[in-house]
Amino acid sequence: PGALMAQIVEPTAPPEPPAFAAQGAPIFVPRDAIQGFRKLDSYNEPDFVKAFVEAGKLPPVEERLPAEPLVMETANMPDGAGVYGDVMRHVIGGRPEGWNYAAGNSQGWGGIDIGTMECLTRVGPLFQVEPEDLAPLPNLAKGWEWSEDGKSLTVHLVEGAKWSDGDPFDAADVMFYWDHIVQDPEVTPLNGANPGTFGEGTTLTRVDDFTVRFDFTTERPEQILYAMGYGTFCPGPEHMLRPAHPEFSDNSYEEFRNAFPPDFLNFPVMGAWVPVEYRPDDIVVMRRNPYYWKVDSDGNQLPYLDEMHYRLSTWADRDIQAVAGTGDFSNLEQPANFVESLRRAAEEDAPAALEFGPRIIGYGLYPNLSGNGWGEPDERAQTIRELNRNEHFRKGIAQALDRQRLGESLVKGPFTTPYAGGLLPDTTYFDRESTVFYPYSLESAKAHFAEAGLEDTDGNGILNLPKDMGGSDVVMTLMANTDYGTDRTVAEGVVAMLQDAGINVSLNLLAGNDFDATRDAGRYDWRIQRTGTELVTGVQNTANLAPTGPNTSQLHMANAEGEMDLLPFEEELAQIVRDFMSSNDAEEKTELMKRYQTVATENLYGVGLTAYPGALVVNKRFANVPQGTPIFMFNWAEDNVMRERLFVPEDKQQNHELHPETLPGAPGEDGPVTAG
């Protein structure tokens, strides 16, 4: 081992990223400049909706709105109060499994769930909130107060808001989500909320129809306000979900999950648009929610846009169509499209505006760290798990990867930078000095593999397992998501580089929904994945940063018996994250995140690969797009831009509406209906 150790190349700080200036800076404001709750003298709505009221098909607008609606201040809107009409034509690469988000159905992503869903707090627009006032925005929770001892938080719900079918929204919806979704181990909502998300031991109690109370085991865990946001506290309609839940019906959990398939139209939502049409592999169409509970400060009921389209295509096509003007919106996040998109956007007649932001997209290579039988591995897979739990094996993998070259395989130029893992560079809690980077060195990789007991004993170029592990070639699988060309390119690069280091890797390419399900079931050796919001903000989905509970970490969950087998460094990470979640001291939080970064990157709790910026592409006919909107920060750009405030000035409106003058019909019945 002495001679081998001599070949080991020691870790360093990560390389400095190449300079790449974000194009627009947000205009920072306090939260109450964006929105508030108050009664206005009068309210307005589109003329065609008035026709429904006149025909007796809809109560008057002031009866549909809460006594004190959420008011979006026109003073904060870049172009002021909007006009009604037009459509936002989204293109998405995901496919809807159904409308039961609460039971884990994906709606196809790309903003489709964000547009139908409202959460207790709102985090997307925080990119433009000044640092001194940075905290989640009130939303379905219009306010909250801490008890004197900080052990409870009383939450006041908006009063008199209604689901899109007119059913009242109240504490019953919130409590159903808590009691029968979050607390039910058989149910996992999309985005994975579970008891650990809210801090171990946290309880929620109904106080009255519009008040609920959280009780905590620690003092003033302000983290809870983020957990109350997207995508962990966005309650579904209790009046629809309860009758389908296994506790209250003959349904199995699988039947519950699939009780509201994509062709179940007009599923009640609190969001601004309601699904009224679904054509498989073609389109989902949404119409405005006549009960939407937000208005602008001139009294106009929101949203301004009457319709939303989600073309069911590919993510790459989203970029192409947005840049060409046949689509309206894209998060330009796949580097293969960067150069061409920039070129087109620079032309004078370009239909879409394009703005790059900070480096908030990362790709990582993640080991399955559970040796406890999670996902029921066969003998081969169990052997890989045991290797994954060996730090030398992980270090060998990290040093076998030339991350510079991997980034350049995606796009040349100043975009990509080698990523060490942990928090992404260009983010608040990132600290370069606390980050441990294992540089590329095949020789060092081999030395680490030898330390892990792997040697090419049969001379076929592939390392063999130690005798006591069977002695065969190391064969591992790498799972990647085929919905994105980027994921595939990164995965193929990793396979080739590991092959050079003597590890035989076979790709397991899965479509997005299957990828997510297979990952959450623990049926993988290693996977490639784009980083989530927790590695950008630290304060969103924080519990996922480590195995803080039996099912918070996608790298390590409990087995069927509920047992964990955490490595010492995972225990340490989990404790750091728990301390962070229960701390309310800015300085302490910063220090804890530095420590997190060191422990996570030193121990390769995921091998970082590459990080790069993304650009927001929006068709130029839309007004009110906030300057400097990042495609991803506290949430995706679909929430960050506040779509309910976007509008198209009359002279720029186009005829894209597929169902003009209509509103959603009754839940489960025919799609859009007319007033006549």
Which residues make up the interface to ligand BQZ (CB under 6 A)? 109-111, 315, 331, 333, 512, 516, 636, 638
- Is the distance from CB of 321 to CB of 283 less than 8 angstroms? no
Residue among 109 and 524 whose Cβ is closer to ligand BQZ: 109
Min dist. Cβ of residue 630 to ligand BQZ (A)? 12
Tokens of 172: 């019953």
Identify the H or E element spanning 474. none
- Is the distance from CB of 644 to CB of 111 less than 8 angstroms? no
Residue among 164 and 554 whose Cβ is closer to ligand BQZ: 554
Min dist. Cβ of residue 497 to ligand BQZ (A)? 24
Residue among 329 and 430 whose Cβ is closer to ligand BQZ: 329
Residue among 173 and 333 whose Cβ is closer to ligand BQZ: 333
What's phi and psi for 303, nearest 5 deg? Answer: -80, 170
Distance (Å, whole) CA 351 – CA 358: 24
Residue among 327 and 512 whose Cβ is closer to ligand BQZ: 512
What's phi and psi for 415, nearest 5 deg? Answer: -80, -60
Name residue, tokens 């047992």: 563
For the stretch 213-217, contacts whose Cβ atoms lie closer than 8 Å and that sit 24 or more positions apart, written own/partner, are 213/152, 213/153, 213/154, 213/155, 214/152, 214/153, 214/155, 215/151, 215/152, 216/150, 216/151, 216/152, 216/153, 216/582, 217/151
Min dist. Cβ of residue 619 to ligand BQZ (A)? 16
Residue among 300 and 416 whose Cβ is closer to ligand BQZ: 416
In the bound complex, which residue of the shown chain has the CB atom lying closest to ligand BQZ?
109
Name residue, tokens 């995901």: 94
In eight-state DSSP terms, residue 179 is: I
Closest CA to 398 of 123, 1, 10, 42: 10
Min dist. Cβ of residue 329 to ligand BQZ (A)? 9
What's phi and psi for 388, nearest 5 deg? Answer: -55, -30
Min dist. Cβ of residue 342 to ligand BQZ (A)? 18
Min dist. Cβ of residue 66 to ligand BQZ (A)? 27
Min dist. Cβ of residue 58 to ligand BQZ (A)? 31
Min dist. Cβ of residue 96 to ligand BQZ (A)? 12
- Is the distance from CB of 333 to CB of 610 less than 8 angstroms? no
User: Which three-class secondary structure state does DSSP give residue 582?
Assistant: helix
Residue among 426 and 638 whose Cβ is closer to ligand BQZ: 638
Residue among 303 and 630 whose Cβ is closer to ligand BQZ: 630
Residue among 55 and 324 whose Cβ is closer to ligand BQZ: 324
- Is the distance from CB of 524 to CB of 375 less than 8 angstroms? yes
Cα angle: 19, vertex 20, 22; to 5 degrees: 140
Residue among 192 and 550 whose Cβ is closer to ligand BQZ: 192
Residue 614's Cβ-count burial label (10 Å; 0-12, 13-18, 19+) is buried
Cα pseudo-dihedral 577, 581, 582, 588, rounded to 10: 70
Cα angle: 100, vertex 103, 105; to 5 degrees: 55
Distance (Å, whole) CA 656 – CA 645: 19
Min dist. Cβ of residue 158 to ligand BQZ (A)? 24
Min dist. Cβ of residue 638 to ligand BQZ (A)? 6
Residue among 101 and 438 whose Cβ is closer to ligand BQZ: 101
Min dist. Cβ of residue 378 to ligand BQZ (A)? 26
Residue among 111 and 547 whose Cβ is closer to ligand BQZ: 111
Min dist. Cβ of residue 513 to ligand BQZ (A)? 8
- Is the distance from CB of 151 to CB of 215 less than 8 angstroms? yes
Closest CA to 476 of 363, 602, 365, 600: 365
